[in-house]
Structure 1
Amino acid sequence: MIVHTRYKTVLIAAFLLAAGLTSCKKMLDEENLSGITDETLYTTPKGFETLVNAAYSYQRWWYGKERGYNIGETGTDLWTNGAGDVYPDLTTYQNLQATNGALQEVWSNFYKAINVCNAGIARVGNSGMDQALQIQRTAEFRFLRAFYYYHIVETWGGVHLTTEETVGVVTEARKSSVDDFYNLIIEDLRFAVDHLAPTTADYGRVTKPAAEAFLARVYLTRGLNAEAGALAKKVISDYGFALLPNYADLWRMNNLQNSEIVYAVNYSSNLNDNDKQDDNVYPDGDNRGSNSAHMLFLMKYDDQPGVIRSLEYGRPFNRYQPSRYLLYLFNENIDSRFEASFQNVWYCNQPNASGRPAGMNVGDTAVFISKYTVPASVRATKNYTIYDDGDIYNTDGSSKNRLRYISLKKFMDNTRGSINEAQSVRDAFVIRLAEMYLIVAEAAFKTGNNEEAVTYLNIIRERAAKEGHKEEMDVNAADVTLDFILEERAREFAGEQMRWFDLKRTGKLKESLQKYNPHAITYFRDYHMLRPIPQNQLDAVTNKSEFTQNPGYQ
């Protein structure tokens, strides 16, 4: 398991980048009584490993974090604001500007991560490691650099690209083309594929199949469909990964390291190792911590008659509400993924009879949310609270109740220490084997091979089928369209921080918002295909006429 050691000097290189690319102010002002510097620390194998671990750690700024969800999942056809949404400008595009805090934090920390990777690649030869381990660590750094640059270029386009370690204060930034970014990303990932080991005993480290899988995702993004399909097939066939027979088992807290996970960002069962706060190493403060996903998709349930907050039902932050479109993508009579992904019933857990409706006992239904209309005649016969489609959504799919809704439960964690504990030790899945099947399907469709596409689609659909319904879940080659593949990706990956990139990759973002997200399409403009460069970056550079804001933003 990747756990980064808490040395004061471990991120000196990252601090230097923060001073150079993010802000001109001095970031580190302390007397180094130990005498340890980056020049000495990274010249021993043990010291160099702290740099490797630091490079991994910045993935935790994205996966399982509110910022990553708002950038990678909201602002799409699948989600709208819950009442507690902190970044509604990302969810709806209304007044999205360069001062957005999520964009500023992700930009800053991904560029810090890039600098750590560049430093590691440049310094590995003096690390004291043997040659084989040097190559392995270089491959890890290059995978991670590609990972961070992929998210940067997809989010902001052709911004600053460098392969050199920043040492000292740098006040100029240069714009590079998107092609230049992807040339480096693909080059780095090919190196990683060629030099990484196929397996690891240190869960959380990248492996050869993980690099191949991520490269397949990149190839698909760049329209290299044959290459994407071939690599995805290789990941499926060559390494012993296997789809779990039961989709719901993917999300069990006692089954996180399972046969379907190609790559994950791991969180430690020791909460102290999850960097919730370390003022010396991470001066941004209480911004990292563990996986927050368990709170973000939950409706406000704990003020309803008969229900109190519990570990089982989670701490409801009420950030994101599923779109009506997302809920209706599922035929829950035959597709197990609806019940595995969503919660629409809350049972009475109120021990005091005075807090329960008359006739309600512990264990009885207390709240039921239906995606269909529940007639008044039926409601009159029930002693529990009912919300139906008409209570939550308008006929055009817009939301009229942002507090109560069917809630995504995939990321729940009932192993937390208390009902108000915000930290979860759940690993964040970056690449699941199911994605490889759907990459093959999309690549095959785009190259005119619907027969192959439907074969791989049906494998995923049959895994999701309820008992006795496999044949009903099967589709035919004539059913395969790009829209259908995107629908299947939504059913399979809802909430897994891919949707915005999926819609951008396929050119379907604007169209999907027009059809299914009336809140967002009101404010969406074509220039929103890129996010605004953070204002604090623009303020810091001295070559302002060259490094300018993305078009459309003030």
Structure 2
Amino acid sequence: MKKILNIVMLSCIALLTVTGCDDFLDADNKSNVTSDEYFNTEAGFETLINYAYAQLKPLYNASPTMQCSGTDMYHRGRNSMPDTDLQIYSSLNAENGTVNSFYVNCYRGIQAANCALFYANSVDADDNLVSKRSQEARFIRAYFYFELVQHFGGVAIVDEYISSIVTTMPRNTLEETYSFIISEMEAIVGSGSALEETDLNGRITKQAVYHYLAKVYLTAGWDLNNNTYFTTAANYAQQAIALGSGLDETYADLWDPSRDNMHQEVVFALQYDRISSGAAGLSETSNGNQLQTPFGSYYGGEENHYKYSSSNFCPSEHLMYLYEPGDSRYEATYMTKLYCTDVNDQYSGDYYAPYNGTAEDDDISYYYPAHYQSSADDIAAWRNEDLAHRASTKVIPMTSITLSTDEVTPYTYYEAATLDVFGLTCIRKFDDPESSFNNNTCYRDIVLARLGETYLIAAEAYLEAGGHQAEVDQMVNTVRERAYRGSGLTASEYEKSNVDLDDILDERALELAGERLRWCDLRRTKKLVEYNIAYNPELINGENSFNGADGNQKLYRPIPQNAINLNDAEIEQNPGY
């Protein structure tokens, strides 16, 4: 009998092995039917589509190393980043395991989508359903290629299901790779589109495709030096915006953990559910994600009753100084107050108090004021607002020269991050109050696209197209209006005019902190070297850190050496490696 599952996995594009995913399908089908019989049923076909969606999760489940290392916004904390090579560049080479895993996972996702599309030609199911699911699979395939092209440049295009070992995979050009991505995405929102306009259930929609078409055209405009692409990017961004309801929610409400799956601003998210995982007999500690764990200081062990923190990616000093008075995103992005039931008991932490309704009765053990709230008068006024709960609070300002947690020893911001427990604030946007003290127990959805970013994509596209300064300013100020809503400031006090590229990157940092976008942002806008030199405290050798042995700079990731070794085609390595 044929194996119930015969989804062939690509390994490093040369297909080192051809494997099945028996465990996955065995859980769904225990009957004595062949793979063709099962996958040609509606239930079997839906299994393939769901499996293709599931292949997105390995890119984002764990540490944000590929997306956040080596930028201006993050540096190590108490612990080093999981892969220091990607933070310091000088030692990054084609043998890097993190890069190889990312590359392999993208091609696994492509193969899963190709498998679903293969069976779409023969499945016995409603035509409208097959059309809709096929368009979802085509998007997923194009999405993986967009991830690849941003990190590696042109890559080998595989657009058919592969059921046997293939050892020759020529690398396509940058232009060919972008052309494939664009043609796939445009085809599924054309006249025959079966996609819903919007959807909160985690499936691909027209709005999501428009958002990503805007981003693909924007990135291709930079990479291919094609100015007309910027105009197209702006148009697609506007189409995505038109299908939404604007930025109606406050920034804090947008990240309310009790309302996952309910935010109209979210365009596309990877959804997680603790209840269904338990019902399926899956372990809570291995089937969630690490979304809430990396971004901040180390807060001690489980006995302290604060959240688990791997403390690998601390928000940088540069990021802290981008916030301005009145910007609600500071309080909504960071846990500026750590609560406890008794400030004199180090083991009485109550990290999730703001979500559980106990904050009002708790003491505050640590307070991390923004740089503009850190004068002696500011801190004294803050204590006096609630002296009963704040008299003994340790105050650690988020400033370039701050204090150790003994409140006596002066520390630089970087020293506070790397030497101290409780030395810095942490990102709270992704907090899961139901999680246990473990690495993989967060079940918050991973937001991949939302309208807050769509407006900023439009702003960048209008800027690079030229002649649209009013539209550039309007897009950025729409985002800023939400950020300053309720601050008491007038529009003239927070709006920006004559917005330039650095302004847009600053706004992206503020709006999208922790959302795993920064490395691609800096590479796309050709600011990768400049911003690392200026703001990455771990870039020891400055610009020389980017210089490869071949005399070129490392502006892409290296093509994994395994992919080159196992490919009979001649594969040219990226510059710098």
TM-score range, shorter chain: 0.7 to 0.9
Q: Relative to structure 1, is the Cα distance of residues 396 and 369 closer, same or farther in structure 2, using a 3 angstrom cutoff? A: closer
SS of the residue corresponding to residue 262 of structure 1 reads strand
Q: Relative to structure 1, is the Cα distance of residues 107 and 318 closer, same or farther in structure 2, using a 3 angstrom cutoff? A: same
Please, which of 321, 331, 335 is the counterpart of residue 339 of structure 1? 331
Give the superposition deviation at 1:298: 3.0
Please, which of 243, 247, 264 is the counterpart of residue 243 of structure 1? 247
2:506 corresponds in structure 1 to 487
Q: Relative to structure 1, is the Cα distance of residues 37 and 177 closer, same or farther in structure 2, using a 3 angstrom cutoff? A: farther
Contact 1:334–1:472 (8 Å) recurs in 2? no
Whole-angstrom CA distance in 1 between matches of 2:175 and 2:97 = 28
Contact 2:303–2:347 (8 Å) recurs in 1? no
AA in 1 matched with 2:143: F
1:504 corresponds in structure 2 to 523
AA in 2 matched with 1:500: W
1:540 corresponds in structure 2 to 566
SS of the residue corresponding to residue 294 of structure 1 reads coil
Q: Does 1:14 align with 2:19?
A: no
Contact 2:218–2:230 (8 Å) recurs in 1? yes
Whole-angstrom CA distance in 2 between matches of 1:535 and 1:276 = 39
Larger CA deviation: 434-443 vs 48-57: 434-443
AA in 2 matched with 1:321: C
SS of the residue corresponding to residue 52 of structure 1 reads helix
Q: Does 1:253 align with 2:257?
A: yes
Q: Does 1:518 align with 2:537?
A: yes
Q: Does 1:127 align with 2:117?
A: no
Please, which of 546, 550, 553 is the counterpart of residue 574 of structure 2? 550
Whole-angstrom CA distance in 1 between matches of 2:120 and 2:135 = 11
Contact 2:558–2:574 (8 Å) recurs in 1? yes
2:387 corresponds in structure 1 to none
Contact 1:22–1:108 (8 Å) recurs in 2? no
Aligned 1:134-283 pairs, distance under 5 A: 134-194=130-190, 195-199=193-197, 203-223=201-221, 224-237=229-242, 239-257=243-261, 258-270=263-275, 272=277
SS of the residue corresponding to residue 295 of structure 1 reads coil
Whole-angstrom CA distance in 1 between matches of 2:282 and 2:565 = 27
Contact 2:368–2:425 (8 Å) recurs in 1? yes
Q: Does 1:366 align with 2:365?
A: yes
Deviations 1:391-412 (A, max 9, x none): 4799997556425222111111
TM-score, structure 2 normalization:
0.81
Whole-angstrom CA distance in 2 between matches of 1:541 and 1:317 = 37
Q: Does 1:77 align with 2:72?
A: yes
Q: Relative to structure 1, is the Cα distance of residues 473 and 142 closer, same or farther in structure 2, using a 3 angstrom cutoff? A: farther
Q: Relative to structure 1, is the Cα distance of residues 474 and 391 closer, same or farther in structure 2, using a 3 angstrom cutoff? A: closer
Q: Relative to structure 1, is the Cα distance of residues 70 and 435 closer, same or farther in structure 2, using a 3 angstrom cutoff? A: same
Whole-angstrom CA distance in 1 between matches of 2:195 and 2:39 = 23
1:437 corresponds in structure 2 to 455
Aligned CA-pair RMSD: 3.5
| Count of residues paired in the alignment | 521
1:299 corresponds in structure 2 to 297
Whole-angstrom CA distance in 1 between matches of 2:346 and 2:335 = 26
Give the superposition deviation at 1:290: 2.1
Q: Relative to structure 1, is the Cα distance of residues 99 and 347 closer, same or farther in structure 2, using a 3 angstrom cutoff? A: same
AA in 1 matched with 2:489: H
Whole-angstrom CA distance in 2 between matches of 1:535 and 1:374 = 53
Deviations 1:313-336 (A, max 9, x none): 4211111011110000001x2100
2:386 corresponds in structure 1 to none
Larger CA deviation: 211-220 vs 344-353: 344-353
Deviations 1:114-145 (A, max 9, x none): 11212222331201123222221221111111
Aligned 1:416-455 pairs, distance under 5 A: 416=435, 418-420=436-438, 422-446=440-464, 447-455=466-474
Whole-angstrom CA distance in 2 between matches of 1:484 and 1:326 = 13
AA in 2 matched with 1:442: E
Larger CA deviation: 181-190 vs 18-27: 18-27
1:60 corresponds in structure 2 to 57
AA in 1 matched with 2:322: L
Q: Relative to structure 1, is the Cα distance of residues 230 and 201 closer, same or farther in structure 2, using a 3 angstrom cutoff? A: closer
Q: Relative to structure 1, is the Cα distance of residues 401 and 72 closer, same or farther in structure 2, using a 3 angstrom cutoff? A: closer
Deviations 1:496-519 (A, max 9, x none): 111111111111111111221132
Q: Does 1:38 align with 2:56?
A: no
Contact 1:292–1:424 (8 Å) recurs in 2? yes
2:555 corresponds in structure 1 to 529
AA in 2 matched with 1:155: H
1:408 corresponds in structure 2 to 427
Percent identity, aligned pairs only?
Answer: 30
Contact 1:301–1:316 (8 Å) recurs in 2? yes
Q: Relative to structure 1, is the Cα distance of residues 301 and 46 closer, same or farther in structure 2, using a 3 angstrom cutoff? A: same
TM-score, structure 1 normalization:
0.84
Whole-angstrom CA distance in 1 between matches of 2:90 and 2:361 = 44
Give the superposition deviation at 1:28: 7.4
Contact 2:199–2:205 (8 Å) recurs in 1? no
Give the superposition deviation at 1:272: 2.5
Deviations 1:264-300 (A, max 9, x none): 111123363799979xxxxxxx997322111111311
Give the superposition deviation at 1:370: 4.6
1:328 corresponds in structure 2 to 321
AA in 2 matched with 1:326: L
SS of the residue corresponding to residue 455 of structure 1 reads helix
SS of the residue corresponding to residue 411 of structure 1 reads coil
AA in 2 matched with 1:341: T
Q: Does 1:469 align with 2:465?
A: no
